[in-house]
Structure 1
Amino acid sequence: MRPNLRHTLFAAATLVAPALAQAADYLSIGSCPVGCAAYTWSAGIADVINKNVDGVEATAEETKGYVANIALMQGGELEASMATSLSAYEAYTATGNYAGTEPGKIMAWMAIAPVAMHIIALDGGPINTMEDLKGKRVGMGQPGGVSMLDANVVMNMIAGDDFEPFRIRLGDMIDGLSDGNLDAALWNGSFPLPPVIKLSAQRDMKLIPVEDDFFEALRAEYPPYFRLTIPAGTYEDVTVDTPTFGLANGLVISADVPEERVYLMTKAIMENLDTLAGIHPAFGNMSADTILNGFGSPLHPGALRYYREIGVPGIEDFVARTGG
């Protein structure tokens, strides 16, 4: 699949360069469908790497989502990708959704921001609480993406099979909401989500809060989820804080990428967070204090070297805890 992923941007290069040269020269960063925050992040990071690290040509790859990203990395078709902390741990240890795969191939790189479950509806519509999702037309996210798995968990707990699922990408879900073809859309992503900003500018929308009782039942079944809040003002129409839940979210990288290269790329990203914050506000909250948030799998040696160099708080405890 690697030639197909590269074809749009690097057709000539992939035709003439041997596989080992591609691995040394190119860095494909798996993200999600265009319009999602993770694609914006990947594109910004690729641009920073290209401008600051000699010998690397990075590109953001549109994919079906985080689940697909891990599979592509395990198949050698991506060098890096966006992932949740849960999927990063399971991929490294070959457990859970990745049981039976080769362990140790995918290593932690850097935390960016938490992903937050958005339950999106229109003002004046039939959805005012989570219970109202029963029997409704609900956007769930596309196959291959973590959001669809999270939406499945939510809807199974609320409604069992008493709803009509639409397993489509976020942009299509937002269009469906706006056109009246969906009653609600569920998406677990880092805020603000550009398509939701667009919806808020065009229609009166709202976010449905996740009640405490639901969250406690969810966490009892799925401990990696944690409580968080989407702040008031994140979207134009949402004037109150919205309680919800999420996972830690960040970058993972193949163990096969050379240590020196990862060191230089890590340094470039961390020294250009102000530039990246102009691309997406999530980068404005990144720092040495947050870079390890949520990870339970070992760091790539190149990233570990840089984090030790700048004195990331808790780095040695992290290494002892993860065995990295």
Structure 2
Amino acid sequence: MKLDFKTAMFAMATLATPTLTQAADFLSIGSCPVTCTAYTWSAGIADVINKNVEGVQATAEETKGYVANIALMQGGELEASMATSLSAYEAWAGTGNYEGTEPGKIMAWMSIAPVAMHIIALEGGPVNSVADLKGKRVGMGQPGGVSMLDANVLMAKIAGEDFEPFRVRLGDMVDMLSDGNIDAALWNGSFPLAPVIKLNAQRDLKLIPVEDDFFDALRADYPPYFRLSIPGGTYEDVTADTPTFGLANGLVISADVPEERVYQMTKAVFENLEALAGVHPAFGKMSADTILNGFGSPLHPGALRYYREINVPGIEEFVARTGG
């Protein structure tokens, strides 16, 4: 880690243990502001690593969020971070929002929880299908947020530039939708979304389904997107499952972290999911069946080694698909 206070700690540590290296000693995990879920996840994972992997000092770092995390990793200021799987893919490939950056530096590590694209509209309004978003007033999410990046991808596929974007946070979007100031709101997040529950208590709500043909075309351009549904009953007015697409909230890690170190850390996290579920319930839903969800970039060799060892379903297909 290159932050000043950690550099000082490293200097002191090397006086006592000169055979250790900085990369082996410190693992900084970028998250988000301390009030958000990703910080809780990072802190829990750091604690498990510190208790179970000898020679590592892991810390959860408060950051401005996922977009900032990738930039900090690219600058060498973090060894690992929370990210969406789309950001992870684009950062690894040096494409999209990270075009022009060095590819191959940031690798997939583990998926924690899915986020689902919500296309939110009101009964009786002008939006009844994905195609209806063309030419409409659309809430997109606030600048700098990953949800806005996903909304940009969706709207570019649907409408090019033929729509009126409103780039505000989710709470403001649902108020604007309720007041008739926008026609639809887009948000990629873990369900249920509290502001949408609030909206549903005030207005007749509907979620717009994403049909198979549209999803297939979208995923052809953006491999990290995967198919999922928002279950019926998640929101009171929406009684049927709503097919949509999502990403994963997960961890990425620098390719520079040694393979053996990543193997030991991956093993520690996976063998302590029950304890981590006491930190946040998302860990209670993690398993060998979910650990790869949404990733389109190659796994770090240390993580790949462990996942092969425990026979993660589809691991060889994943390697073939990602070129890892």
Q: Are residues 1:29 and 2:30 paired?
A: yes
Distance 1:246 1:295 in 2: 11
Quote how far apart the aligned CAs of 1:187 are: 1.5
Partner secondary structure for residue 148 of structure 1: helix
Quote how far apart the aligned CAs of 1:70 are: 2.2
Quote how far apart the aligned CAs of 1:229 are: 1.6
Quote how far apart the aligned CAs of 1:75 are: 1.4
2:238 aligned partner: 238
Quote how far apart the aligned CAs of 1:43 are: 1.7
1:271 aligned partner: 271
- Given that 1:151 and 1:186 are in contact with CA atoms closer than 8 Å, whether structure 2 keeps it comes out as yes
1:72 aligned partner: 72
Q: Are residues 1:112 and 2:112 paired?
A: yes
- Given that 2:93 and 2:103 are in contact with CA atoms closer than 8 Å, whether structure 1 keeps it comes out as yes
Distance 1:178 1:156 in 2: 25
- Given that 2:139 and 2:185 are in contact with CA atoms closer than 8 Å, whether structure 1 keeps it comes out as yes
Q: 1:160 to 1:299 in 2, by over 3 A?
A: closer
Distance 1:74 1:133 in 2: 35
Q: Superposed, which structure 2 residues align to 1:15-164 within 5 Å?
A: 17=9, 24-31=25-32, 39-51=36-48, 53-54=50-51, 55-59=56-60, 61-65=62-66, 67-123=67-123, 125-164=125-164
- Given that 2:27 and 2:59 are in contact with CA atoms closer than 8 Å, whether structure 1 keeps it comes out as yes
Distance 1:223 1:309 in 2: 26
Quote how far apart the aligned CAs of 1:232 are: 0.9
Partner secondary structure for residue 46 of structure 1: helix
C-alpha offsets along residues 33-84 of structure 1, whole Å, 9 cap, x if unaligned? 788xxx424422422432552453422534354x443222111233222334
C-alpha offsets along residues 149-194 of structure 1, whole Å, 9 cap, x if unaligned? 3312333444444433122333443454456554421022343345
Give structure 1 stretches of 5+ with no counterpart: 4-10
- Given that 2:139 and 2:173 are in contact with CA atoms closer than 8 Å, whether structure 1 keeps it comes out as yes
Partner secondary structure for residue 147 of structure 2: helix
Partner secondary structure for residue 100 of structure 1: coil
Give structure 2 stretches of 5+ with no counterpart: 12-20
Distance 1:200 1:181 in 2: 17
Quote how far apart the aligned CAs of 1:253 are: 0.8
1:254 aligned partner: 254
- Given that 1:43 and 1:60 are in contact with CA atoms closer than 8 Å, whether structure 2 keeps it comes out as no
Partner secondary structure for residue 186 of structure 2: strand
Distance 2:22 2:259 in 1: 16
Q: Superposed, which structure 2 residues align to 1:210-225 within 5 Å?
A: 210-219=210-219, 222=222, 225=225
1:8 aligned partner: none
TM-score (norm 1): 0.74
Identity %: 74
Partner secondary structure for residue 173 of structure 1: helix
Q: 1:205 to 1:16 in 2, by over 3 A?
A: farther
Quote how far apart the aligned CAs of 1:89 are: 3.4
Partner secondary structure for residue 298 of structure 1: coil
Distance 2:208 2:270 in 1: 35
Q: Which moved more, 1:22-31 or 1:299-308?
A: 22-31
Partner secondary structure for residue 304 of structure 2: helix
Q: 1:268 to 1:170 in 2, by over 3 A?
A: farther
Q: Which moved more, 1:270-279 or 1:67-76?
A: 270-279
Let me know the Cα RMSD of the aligned residues: 3.8
TM-score (norm 2): 0.74
- Given that 1:68 and 1:145 are in contact with CA atoms closer than 8 Å, whether structure 2 keeps it comes out as no
- Given that 2:118 and 2:189 are in contact with CA atoms closer than 8 Å, whether structure 1 keeps it comes out as yes
Distance 1:77 1:290 in 2: 29
Partner secondary structure for residue 60 of structure 2: strand
Distance 1:316 1:283 in 2: 24
- Given that 1:48 and 1:272 are in contact with CA atoms closer than 8 Å, whether structure 2 keeps it comes out as no
2:17 aligned partner: none
Distance 2:315 2:177 in 1: 44
Distance 2:122 2:108 in 1: 38
- Given that 1:224 and 1:247 are in contact with CA atoms closer than 8 Å, whether structure 2 keeps it comes out as yes
Distance 1:181 1:279 in 2: 39
Distance 2:203 2:277 in 1: 27
Letter of the structure 2 residue corresponding to residue 94 of structure 1: G
- Given that 1:111 and 1:248 are in contact with CA atoms closer than 8 Å, whether structure 2 keeps it comes out as yes
C-alpha offsets along residues 112-132 of structure 1, whole Å, 9 cap, x if unaligned? 344321112345655443354
2:169 aligned partner: 169
Quote how far apart the aligned CAs of 1:110 are: 0.9
Q: Are residues 1:304 and 2:304 paired?
A: yes
Distance 2:306 2:192 in 1: 29
